[in-house]
Structure 1
Amino acid sequence: MQKLMLSQPLYQQLYESLKSSILTGELKSGSKMVVTKLAKQYNISRTPMREALRQLQNEGLLVQDGPGLRVIELNIEDFIELYDCRIALEKEVMKTVTKVVNQELLMTVEKLLDKAEHALGNKEYLELLQLNTDFHDTLLKACPNKRAIQFVQQVRSLLLIYRAKILHNHEFNKEIINEHRQILESLKKGGIQDVIKQFENHLKNDVERGKKVIDL
């Protein structure tokens, strides 16, 4: 577990510490999250711990288990269903984004990919996970349909633990960055069908990568 600092609200620090432990696998899938036990471990009151756990539950990293909570377990059927939803939603979003793309957006995306390659070289996997999230978020937020953005974000939040698991594989990381580069190049050319094709291929490849890590 990470040590808590004084620079942020306590519940936010707890949330970030626990989230990091879940995504790195320090807290295993299926682990029970007992408020009293965690509060004692961190030497804090139960109130900020409950708030931190509530945030993690909202993100889909924790699920209800009777009166308590547990870390979500990897499930191939759930994973495929979520990705089916994500592919359908994000394809429609990218059709719109391709029509409104500008030079500023392209430069922002390119900088994110440069940072991602740097993080990959340094084996900073949580940083890489965030940068890959930022890549998709930056494109997503360019879409003028705010409802579509909300739906996609909800699905992607539920997929976070799967995406974190994928990023522990070095070869998968390289593939993902290359696919992001291909999407960027398609956006630069401005062909809607090619952008959709590259984006759909990327997400379908994510499904195959996910199947492999879930089966491990």
Structure 2
Amino acid sequence: MKPIQRAVPLVNQVYEHLRGAILSGTLKPGEKIVETKLAGELQVSRSPVREAIRLLANEQLLKEQNGNISVFVPTIHDFQEISALRLAVEPAAAAMAARRFEAPDVQALQTSLEANIEETKHCLAVGDMEGIIPLNNEFHRVIWTCGGNGRFVRIMENVSALIQYYCSLVLDINQQQTNILQEHTDIYLALKAGDPVEAQNAMYRHINKDQQVIERYAASSDGFNVEFPPAGVALYKEGELS
């Protein structure tokens, strides 16, 4: 690991470093995180490392058990719980967003969705599959915000990192093939038309499809009998810390 440099708050840098390592698979599920060792490798004090660990534990990417900290181990049960939450909240948020999509206070968010779809189209055209997952996450986050329900946003932000983590598995199972552009476009068009019923249905279909992909895969392989996250899909490119 390269030492942390002090251009931005150390806690932020350590947090982003650890989060990227987990989401990219550099830190494997179940791998132990030793505070003193990590602080030495990054050449920082233990305080920012401790705070970064706390933040990642809140995001459920790290787990504490018997005084030990380790990277969380994904399970089909965990995925099913997150899918159930998404299916309960996100279609409702999409319906809310459709009802207020033309309101003056969400015009910037509407523009953001349009740009997101164009960037997704570009990534698919050039084969940049690493760019798809964060774009997908941002697309959904904008719709949560458009819906105007702050509690929905807080609930979904709490599992946002895990959603990204599991979405990588869907992409890998499908061998880098995805209908995400068409699905996101369908959702966007329903929002733009101010059609809450179709927005809700389109969002439900979009999320439910991913759930079916993973459940079929888990059933055929007796659980997640794969390297996880999948070796071919990195959510974050590991680069130099500034």
Pair 1:39 & 2:39 matched: yes
Where 1:63 maps in the other structure, the secondary structure is strand
- In the aligned structure 2, how far is the partner of 1:181 from the partner of 1:150? 25
Aligned counterpart, 1:178: 182
Residues 86 and 156 in structure 1, CA contact (< 8 A), matched pair in contact too: no
Deviations 1:130-170 (A, max 9, x none): 22111111111112222222223224344332224434567
Pair 1:123 & 2:115 matched: no
Residues 171 and 178 in structure 2, CA contact (< 8 A), matched pair in contact too: no
Q: CA deviation at 1:117?
A: 3.1
- Gaps of at least 5 residues in structure 1 are none
| 1:1-216 mapped onto 2 (5 Å cutoff) | 1=1, 4-102=4-102, 104=107, 105-120=109-124, 121=126, 123=128, 125=130, 127-168=131-172, 171-172=175-176, 174-211=178-215, 212=217, 214-216=224-226
Where 1:174 maps in the other structure, the secondary structure is coil
- In the aligned structure 1, how far is the partner of 2:177 from the partner of 2:135? 12
- In the aligned structure 1, how far is the partner of 2:138 from the partner of 2:37? 34
- In the aligned structure 2, how far is the partner of 1:192 from the partner of 1:43? 52
Residues 97 and 147 in structure 2, CA contact (< 8 A), matched pair in contact too: yes
Q: CA deviation at 1:215?
A: 4.5
- In the aligned structure 1, how far is the partner of 2:201 from the partner of 2:180? 15
Q: CA deviation at 1:75?
A: 0.3
- In the aligned structure 2, how far is the partner of 1:209 from the partner of 1:5? 42
Which deviates more, 175-184 or 25-34? 175-184
The number of equivalent residue pairs is 215
Query: What amino acid maps onto 1:177 in structure 2?
Result: L
Which deviates more, 37-46 or 14-23? 37-46
Q: CA deviation at 1:5?
A: 3.7
Deviations 1:61-108 (A, max 9, x none): 111121021111110011101211111111222221110002834332
Task: Determine which structure has greater relative contact order: mean sequence separation of CA pairs < 8 Å that are 6+ residues apart, divided by chain length.
Answer: 2
Q: CA deviation at 1:189?
A: 2.5
Where 1:70 maps in the other structure, the secondary structure is strand
Q: Of Structure 1 and Structure 2, which has the larger fraction of its residues in helix?
A: 1
RMSD of aligned residue pairs (Cα, Å): 2.3
- In the aligned structure 2, how far is the partner of 1:33 from the partner of 1:164? 23
- In the aligned structure 2, how far is the partner of 1:13 from the partner of 1:155? 21
Q: CA deviation at 1:210?
A: 3.5
- In the aligned structure 2, how far is the partner of 1:83 from the partner of 1:168? 18
